[in-house]
Amino acid sequence: MDISLSKLPWWGQLGAFVVLAALTFYLFDTYYVTDFKSEMALRKTHLTALKGDITKGIATARRLPEFQAQVTDLGARLESLRSILPEQKDVADTLRRLQGLAAQSNLSLLRFTPAAQRQLPQYAEVPYRMTAIGNFHNLALSFDRVSKFPRIISIGDIAMTASPRQDANATIVADMTATTFVLTEGAGGRGGRGAPPAR
């Protein structure tokens, strides 16, 4: 059977051409344009996400000097805290400092004994049992000196009795606990909760 478009009337040829063009357009759109549009939409989404990341990166970069200043400030604060709350326990240094404060206040230390330390989440309490002899005025003066000392030292559990000596500079014997505080490993620079109590 011989089928030829040239044998069809002009309106038949036109109809066949329209059908063929529509079929070609449909196949082109289905197998090429739709996939292309999907790929373009995916790339557009990815590009939008990248632009968002770039915007965030630029905003962060602009704040870099601020962050560097904060790090410097925190480092300075940490160094100052280390003098108040050292990271290592030093019994000899603490004894020497307390003896110095007692001597400046005309007190004599009769006993200095380390006690069991208490471990807390960010720091440790390191107590020392002390016995000092002197008079009430000098004892109060020593407490004042301790309160102004750069390193935190808390005085508690004070018990006073009359001195057996017949001396105006040694009228009382005071038993007390002097507690110092040391930072535990990894706790440096974290303030707020876990900070030792004020003197």
In a 13 Å sphere around the CA of 20, the CA atoms on its Cβ side amount to 7
In a 13 Å sphere around the CA of 79, the CA atoms on its Cβ side amount to 5
Could you say which DSSP state residue 131 is in? E
Backbone dihedral angles phi then psi of residue 164, each to the nearest 5 degrees? -75, -15
Q: Residues with Cβ < 8 Å from 82, sequence gap 6 or more?
A: 183, 188
Residue 188 has pLDDT above 50, yes or no: no
Residue 102 belongs to some domain of the structure: yes
Question: Residue 159 — pLDDT band, cuts 50, 70, 90?
Answer: very high
Residue 45 belongs to some domain of the structure: yes
Lookup: tokens for 135: 């008079």
Residue 72 belongs to some domain of the structure: no
Query: Which range of residues forms the domain containing residue 29?
Result: 10-62
User: Which residue's structure tokens are 């009337």?
Assistant: 9
Residue 197 belongs to some domain of the structure: no
Tell me, yes or no, whether 98 and 177 share the same domain. Answer: yes
Average model confidence (pLDDT) across the chain: 76
Which residue type, as a one-letter code, is found at position 97? R
Tell me, yes or no, whether 39 and 100 share the same domain. Answer: no
Tell me, yes or no, whether 55 and 109 share the same domain. Answer: no
Residue 56 belongs to some domain of the structure: yes
How do residues 64-113 score in pLDDT, each as one tens digit? 888 788 888 877 776 666 666 665 666 677 778 888 888 888 888 888 88
Residue 70 belongs to some domain of the structure: no
Residue 178 has pLDDT above 50, yes or no: yes
Residue 124's CB is within 10 A of a number of other CB atoms, namely 17
How do residues 40-53 score in pLDDT, each as one tens digit? 778 888 888 888 88
Residue 123 belongs to some domain of the structure: yes
d(CA 7, CA 60): 75
Tell me, yes or no, whether 34 and 99 share the same domain. Answer: no
Supply the CATH number for residue 144's domain: 3.30.70.60
Q: What is the pTM of this model?
A: 0.50
Number of separate domains in the chain? 2
Tell me, yes or no, whether 58 and 90 share the same domain. Answer: no
Residue 110 belongs to some domain of the structure: yes
In a 13 Å sphere around the CA of 58, the CA atoms on its Cβ side amount to 6
